[in-house]
Chain A
């Protein structure tokens, strides 16, 4: 197990696309962590990190991994680079926080997870919905027994996917081409958003026994831009999961229907204007707060005792990936 500086965890951020920038800004806010380096192929992206005071900047992440005075890395690269980068970071003895999905397929996911074990580094996959207060409250209601046995559940995650624009809403942003290549993403909306909802439902209801999917192609690409899944859980619950990349109005929610009651939780961002104003003022917009909490959780996990259970382990993310892979295999209609 690599030795960790007990004062402040020293981070390198690899990948400064949209979500990498969210993690960078959040990491800079943590009292228990410090960003010492960042890597991205784009010099423009590196300038963003420079403006926030990051001193060591690299266009090649392998140079960043050579830094001795670095405890952990946040990896927010395109999905097809997850396995390569995470494995190299783990072999360099760095603890790894990896953006979801774990990898393009279970085989790559397994390679990452086994490398983490072999090198005794701490590893977590970012699932911010686990830190959304509304979902945490719903989980607590479920565990209290107030809802009885959950027979039916409904999960939805609808967004604009890669076709979204900057927070202030008027300026279209270029879409990175890897998003439009199924070989590089491992899938479309089902992979991107489905893994969030499968992870959340497994947290609520336990393991999945079966899943079937119906994929949709509104925008005529060879990857699905929306999907409906029917999921059976070992506990006996049946769930419907709807995901989509077709809307400029995000909706993320869960509904649980039990023998004694029903409850629902939805996670909504602030308006785009408020988000833009908060970013301009250097504050954390509402939608990024769960990302901040998950990072704080990771820092705590790395710094504290080895026996602490990681709620978002690589093994957990690997199970999500297995369920998604099965959904792609079991298509109906």
Chain B
């Protein structure tokens, strides 16, 4: 079940009410928890105004919901890991998370710098080896706060892909040849109990104020709804099909709350020419011509 709520503002208190409403729509009640990890999307040094990274105000609203509904002294950690082109120490600052951490007295954790333990995960009969940060493994509650975006390699990036960023290994491009399998394996290794999507500003063919808050306990259904809004058939997305096969959730979804079509009509979809250019670029990459680009 997926809850959809319209929310036109990014003020923390307005977002807090929208998140609460979305959670009520899916009949979600928080478990008892002393520690929680929140995983926003901080893919690069693009702030919330681009629609490509989670708004710190949205995370602040989530923290307020937790303090009101779970415990006022709940231990909150906001987690992200270093990536090939992005370093947490700069992203936390640049994207406004350092200010957030100071104001709301929460921790910022670079998963690439904390203690991890090895884990083996089987997907499609193949064993994947990862290191799992203990802070994620030991948290009482894990909340995924993704964005919805097109992605050249995996068609879409949303809840399942956001967990790719919990892998502490920084040179993540090494997983690109088996991206779908890696995404699913990481989600099997680190299951997040709640997904609350920040769709206030989104990036499709351009940046747009979509005004969407989405909540679900099922990451596959969350991604399936996001794909539908973006004009992508969820069954054409390899990592969604694989995630369903591996028992992470269901592509078939039930929506509650505001009208899915309202968001679907407004989302800035890619035009045919943009799709053709993306295809051309992929061909150029395969031919090795992309090395010429500066």
Contact = CB atoms under 8 A, between A and B. Distances in A.
Contacts of A173: 85
Nearest to A171: B85
B201 to A, nearest CB: 14
Contacts of B127: none
Contact of A219 (B44, B47, B284, B291): B47
Contact of A172 (B86, B93, B292): B86
A276 B45 contact: no
Given A172-B44, A180-B90, A220 B99 contact: yes
A279 interface: yes
Interface residues of B, number: 27
A8 interface: no
Interface residues of A, number: 28
B294 A221 contact: no
A168 B50 contact: no
Contacts of B278: 170
Interface in A1-52: 18, 21-22, 25, 48, 51
Contact of B293 (A219, A221, A276): A276
Nearest to B96: A220
A48 B292 CA distance: 8
B293 A167 contact: yes
B45 A168 contact: no
A170 B293 contact: no
A181 to B, nearest CB: 11
Given A48-B291, A172-B86, A279-B294, A219 B93 contact: yes
A175 B50 CA distance: 18
Nearest to B93: A220
A21 B291 contact: no
Contacts of A21: 294
A175 B294 contact: no
Given A220-B93, A221-B94, A18 B294 contact: yes
Interface in B250-294: 277-278, 281, 284, 289-294
A171 B172 CA distance: 13
B293 A248 contact: no
A166 B90 CA distance: 19
Interface in A275-294: 276, 279-280, 282
Interface in A69-107: none
Contacts of A18: 294
B47 A166 contact: no
B292 A282 contact: yes
Given A219-B47, A279-B294, A280-B293, A170 B85 contact: no
B138 interface: no
B85, B152, B290, B293 — which one has the most chain A CB atoms within 10 A of its CB? B293
Contacts of B45: 163, 172, 175, 219
A333 interface: no
A116 B117 CA distance: 58
A276 B281 contact: yes
A67 interface: no
Nearest to B281: A168
Nearest to B49: A246
A220 B277 contact: no
A248 B51 CA distance: 13
B13 interface: no
Contacts of A221: 93-94
Interface in B84-106: 84-87, 90, 93-94, 96, 98-99
B292 A175 contact: no
Interface string A264-305: 000000000100100110100000000000000000000000
Nearest to B294: A21
A170 B274 CA distance: 12
A166, A172, A173 — which one has the most chain B CB atoms within 10 A of its CB? A172
B185 interface: no
Interface string B180-212: 000000000000000000000000000000000
Interface in B16-64: 43-47, 50
A77 to B, nearest CB: 16
Contacts of A219: 45, 47, 93-94
A172 B41 CA distance: 14
B94 A166 contact: no
Contacts of A166: 293-294
A172 B90 contact: no
Interface string A202-238: 0000000000000000011100000000000000000
A177 B291 CA distance: 23
B93 A170 contact: no
B45, B96, B99, B294 — which one has the most chain A CB atoms within 10 A of its CB? B294
Contacts of A175: 45, 85, 90
Interface string B153-168: 0000000000000000
Contacts of B87: 177
Interface of A: 18, 21-22, 25, 48, 51, 163, 165-168, 170-175, 177, 180, 219-221, 248, 273, 276, 279-280, 282
Given A171-B85, A220-B98, 11 more contacts: A21-B294, A25-B294, A170-B281, A174-B85, A175-B85, A175-B90, A219-B45, A219-B93, A221-B94, A279-B292, A282-B292
7 contacts: A18-B294, A168-B290, A170-B278, A172-B44, A173-B85, A220-B98, A280-B289
